[in-house]
Structure 1
Amino acid sequence: KIQAIHDAGITGEGVTIAVLDGALNPDVPTLRGADIEGRHLDGCPDPGLGAEVFEASSHGTSVTSLVVGNGTSEIGAGPVGIAPGARILYYGVLQDACDVNSVAAALDDAVDQGADIVTVSGGYGRLTDEFSQETVDSVSAALRDGVLVVAGLPNRGTATDFELMTMNGVVNVASVDAQAEPAKDYGGSDMRNEDVDVVAPGVDVAGLGWDGSWGMSTWSGNSAATPIVAGLLALAKEKWPDATASQLLQSLIRNTGSEPHELQWSSRLGHGVVNATRLLEEDPAQYPDENPLFKDGQAPTLDEVYSTPEPSESEAPGAQANAGPGGLPWTLAGGGAVVVVVAVILIVVIRRRRGDVADAES
């Protein structure tokens, strides 16, 4: 019922979403009229590759279209964005040539630029004990500033994790099909993940570039489900502007499925299938102002994010009086998006680090 929500005037207007992905074709008909600002960071090439580089830019262009697409494409109909009124800050930090700490740099810049939501459909594959402290610090700063961080989970089990998927406070997203059944792994079994928070449509959804044109084609994977969740949070933020980020997360995980229910969780569906109508109907102010997505043994801790820092010596009471004359009182997730279009399979490498690949298949 997204169209009915848009018709009622809720489009994500006034909300800023930072998209962290690979390359982008900003000139496709689907993105005409969208408010998109490309952010160029040191250590990363310009993400705008142009019209003919389908293999590199289909992923990022499809992700962005699921947030702010206008419903058209080169051949007529195209992806309709969940939050077409939102402002997009685009970071091409999952390109091969980007510096290893580009995700942290993008998070920091997004916070500085006023982002309300960050969505990442992929990332670096690393062992948990190799995660960058810089990224932990950047996630902590974003959460502390009230920024919602949404990240796609890998489409298959690996020995490594995406850099954000085991970070506390982050919304980890997996995908379901049109019957609300979990996406399947390569063996045909339901995908399961101990870190999944919510699931969203991610099988045979509208995309661009997967068939070698900028007409609408279909693709699948957690990469597709992730921007849908980010878009829904943008709609909720517009509808309930006084709600805190933590209250919006509480509402997201409590108002899943088609009927009211007690808070629940499983490795198949997380807290359930996101529901746009229920998310917008329920006032988030009824829920605790506490981020519900923290686990013991994961970083950052609640204290690292939300505790008031100890005052420095210069800020301590009486410090100014004692200072003297000169004294002066901070891969693509679905990484691998599993994409099936006309039974043709193409592996799209969005990011490779330490031999781990975030791949998309079309």
Structure 2
Amino acid sequence: MKPVLARLVAASTLLLCLIGGSVAPAVAASTGEATSQQNFEFWWGEYGIDQAHTAGLTGKGVKVAVLEKQINPDLPVFQGTNLHVSASPVCVNKPAVTTTDANDASIHGTTMAAYIVGNGTGAGAVRGIAPDADLTFYGYGPDDGPQCETADGNKLTAFGAGVKMAVDDGAKIIYTAIGGSARKDDAPAIAYALARGAVIVSASINPRQLGAREGDQGAYNGVVSTAAVDRDGNLQQLDGAPFVIPQTTVVAAGFRLPAVGKSGDWQTGGTGTGSSFASPIVAGMLALASQKTPDASANQLLQALISTTNGGQHTPSRTDDGYGYGAAWLSTLLAVDPLTLPDSNPLMDKAFGFGAPTAEQIATAQANGYSPEKRPSSADQLLEQNGSAASGTSLLDVSTIVLWVVVGLVAIVVVAIVVTVLIISSQRRKARKEQAA
């Protein structure tokens, strides 16, 4: 059954659809449709964000990390906030993380950061859900240029590398609205984050964007996957039908919301529709819940998130129709005591999941820290064989290799001689028969 109007909470995305930008544009408003600011104020009021702030819940003391491409940190919307930009770029070959150029990457990254700590001034007048949170921006760099090279030599994608960096810096909440495919090499980094008590929120793909609906970053076990809904709780549409991301965890507002700037112009606010908005909205909610109950584990925060959807407290129940556990709802999230909930991650073994990280990987990370999977090679296998001598296993030395090579070459020569003799004999028999005839 479709959740009530409260199903506003945002859907994850690969890209923010900005009107006036070169990114896939949002559909123009139809006659009578609410303006972007009205939509903004609607979900802001429905979630009870002002009441939370009045009660002193502003994200103060909570470390939050956003993984995006670029940002303009000098805009008015960030004045007086606790925004920091990591001195180390995620992609070592693309260090241009901050920029004054109003391009697609910087507008998107700036907007996503503003939905956590924005002060409501400047273009778009975006206010952050957790304005006093300690927010650090980890940048992938501009859209153009070479493929991302991470510090570990590309074993991790930009997402995996960013997650590990954020965890090492002490982030409790990590979110991104830059989508991508789940990769096996990133699983140890995700396991490391979960083992260290971090919550990860990832936006899902939007309609008509490249990529599969299943198997994205939100398909990792333990990760919150978000999707966008409108004021009436409707998902985005594709060819007249709801655009369903089966591994969705929760949904949130994401239709015609304000953005910081437009393509080539920081002075004019844009408008956007997409799952990108859902990711910071949900992350901001979790930051307030973490401030309210600082002793709550990441697992308990997730338990609270999925058991307080749609404006009520209930036993968690998910569907595969694109709504997951329902619409994330701040007022009920803050009303529950997460310390009374199980300290286990409820998002493991996803039905539409990637199968990783596994419980074993998380346990390994708890015991040993970040433990990337070793990539076996023939050299590794030779070293392992030689290293087994202590246990009585015979060594594979160079002389043995040479011997087998010689034996192989002799065998090839013998086979060649036999084949040649057989061919000659066959031809002679054939010639004698022809002469006899």
Residue identity opposite 1:105 in structure 2? A
- The 3 A distance-change label for structure 1 pair 207 and 305 is same
Residue identity opposite 1:120 in structure 2? T
Residue identity opposite 1:24 in structure 2? I
Equivalences for residues 168-179 of structure 1 within 5 A: 168-179=221-232
Q: What are the Cα deviations for residues 244-289 of structure 1, in whole angstroms up to 9, with x where unaligned?
A: 1100000001100023333221222110001000000100112110
Of 61-70 and 158-167, the range deviating more from structure 2 = 158-167
Residue identity opposite 2:357 in structure 1? P
Equivalences for residues 95-174 of structure 1 within 5 A: 95-96=142-143, 97=145, 98-99=148-149, 101-125=157-181, 131-133=183-185, 135-156=186-207, 159-160=211-212, 164-174=217-227
In structure 1, which of residues 48, 59, 63 is the aligned counterpart of residue 112 of structure 2?
A: 63
The reply to whether residue 44 of structure 1 matches residue 94 of structure 2 is: yes
> Post-superposition shift, 1:73?
1.1
Contact 2:300 2:344 in 1 (8 A): yes
The reply to whether residue 34 of structure 1 matches residue 81 of structure 2 is: yes
> Post-superposition shift, 1:213?
3.1
Unaligned runs of 5+ in 1: 311-362
In structure 1, which of residues 77, 81, 84 is the aligned counterpart of residue 131 of structure 2?
A: 84
Counterparts of 1:287 and 1:281, CA distance in 2: 13
Q: What are the Cα deviations for residues 169-213 of structure 1, in whole angstroms up to 9, with x where unaligned?
A: 00001011112222223x132221111000011111221123653
Residue identity opposite 1:5 in structure 2? A
The alignment covers a number of residue pairs equal to 301
Of 187-196 and 205-214, the range deviating more from structure 2 = 205-214
**SS class of match (2:251):** strand
Residue identity opposite 1:64 in structure 2? A
**SS class of match (1:199):** strand
Counterparts of 1:12 and 1:159, CA distance in 2: 34
Residue identity opposite 2:173 in structure 1? I
Residue identity opposite 2:180 in structure 1? Y
Contact 1:19 1:90 in 2 (8 A): yes
Contact 2:179 2:205 in 1 (8 A): no
- The 3 A distance-change label for structure 1 pair 82 and 152 is same
Aligned to 1:257: 310
Aligned to 2:348: 294
**SS class of match (2:362):** helix
Q: What are the Cα deviations for residues 141-164 of structure 1, in whole angstroms up to 9, with x where unaligned?
A: 010000100000101375546752
Aligned to 1:217: 270
In structure 2, which of residues 253, 256, 260 is the aligned counterpart of residue 204 of structure 1?
A: 256
Contact 1:122 1:162 in 2 (8 A): no
Contact 2:307 2:314 in 1 (8 A): yes
**SS class of match (1:179):** coil
RMSD (Å), alpha carbons: 2.0
Aligned to 1:240: 293
Q: What are the Cα deviations for residues 194-250 of structure 1, in whole angstroms up to 9, with x where unaligned?
A: 110000111112211236533333211111110111111000000011111100000
Q: Which has the higher strand share?
A: 1
Q: What are the Cα deviations for residues 10-50 of structure 1, in whole angstroms up to 9, with x where unaligned?
A: 00000111110111111111111111221122233221111
**SS class of match (1:196):** coil
Q: What are the Cα deviations for residues 31-86 of structure 1, in whole angstroms up to 9, with x where unaligned?
A: 11111221122233221111x32333111011011111101114xx6011010111
Counterparts of 2:102 and 2:229, CA distance in 1: 29
Aligned to 1:342: none
Counterparts of 2:229 and 2:211, CA distance in 1: 23
> Post-superposition shift, 1:303?
2.1
Aligned to 1:341: none
Counterparts of 1:58 and 1:254, CA distance in 2: 34
Residue identity opposite 1:62 in structure 2? T
**SS class of match (2:77):** helix
Give the TM-score normalised by the residue count of structure 1.
0.78
- Which of structures 1 and 2 has the bigger CA Rg? 2
> Post-superposition shift, 1:94?
6.0
Residue identity opposite 1:116 in structure 2? K
Unaligned runs of 5+ in 2: 1-47, 369-437
Counterparts of 1:279 and 1:222, CA distance in 2: 21
Give the TM-score normalised by the residue count of structure 2.
0.65
Identity %: 35
Q: Which has the higher helix share?
A: 2
Contact 1:94 1:122 in 2 (8 A): no
